[in-house]
Chains A and B, each alone.
Chain A
């Protein structure tokens, strides 16, 4: 054993002894993150129901009560009408552009995140079935 490896060994021991390193978190953190998540789901529900995403006052909830028939558990899937494997946000944009006569949102637009969070929340507990038709 050389002095060098010995020194390294000591350093590892020192690191392990330090508290709260790496991805360590406690109940207060979880509470905070859940609250953030819930707030975004709530924003999504508001966007879903208020008729302001498009230009004609139509709301997603008019055709999708409780976000039913949006099937987030099946995406990405082959969308026959688009002729390719597509993501959920692409179908969100389809419905914004058509029944709502609005403009597409960017995939990472906070509003899109909120919509996807809400849709997925309403579908909690349903098993993943990628590609299902």
Chain B
């Protein structure tokens, strides 16, 4: 199968969906003529023109609001917020408007909106350009939250997100754009709300989101060298969460490590831990281990930033500990 970068896979998804459906339009800063700061919208402006591919002013509240209104009236906008940190400027539009419209209006409204954005740390972008805010949106009923970790998942899930009739927060990771992986030439979709077992194993389950899934796979390699077979699950969709996939795996392995880049407190790892202990308590052979970011704003200094973000080493250590093995 051909190899594509995460960046190109996303770009291809946008090209295909814009060709397929004239209601799909793009809004964001530098997404048109320049092709996107991250080049995800490259070539769309030339092909589809200014009406459907809008370069906006630096006005996040404004253009996200416009995307919500456009979605309620028949379009399928894909708005790009350059860094998830800037989504805070559009919070009312996302949380109070997009997420609420359907329920609050008694099921009459449809908001087929995708907000593509990018999060995560590791590049020394410091506190206002490195956050992992996925759980803010997971916490909001009425939103779907997706975080793909591979080019294949990125393309298939972005296409499904665009076709979905709900507001979707689609969160890419800044350190994944240049990663590559197999992506078929033929069109395909990946269903929202379905986790993927990235590696099978029988001794311990590692659930990891976004870039952490790649780190978990590296950890699994190291664990294999120590005779421990880890099963790595990437939920891909954080909400709705494919809990049954995780439960099935835990029923097989009896041990669980949950990994998420965002700060630990009130985070994804706590959520998964709570649900798994309730549904699979009898299968657990060890307390569930959480591996998450430090409860601090992300620092600029490289050494400090590394310490604030989970590393492969942390995942290996957590897996060893639930297996009651020495590090």
Are the chains A and B members of one assembly? no
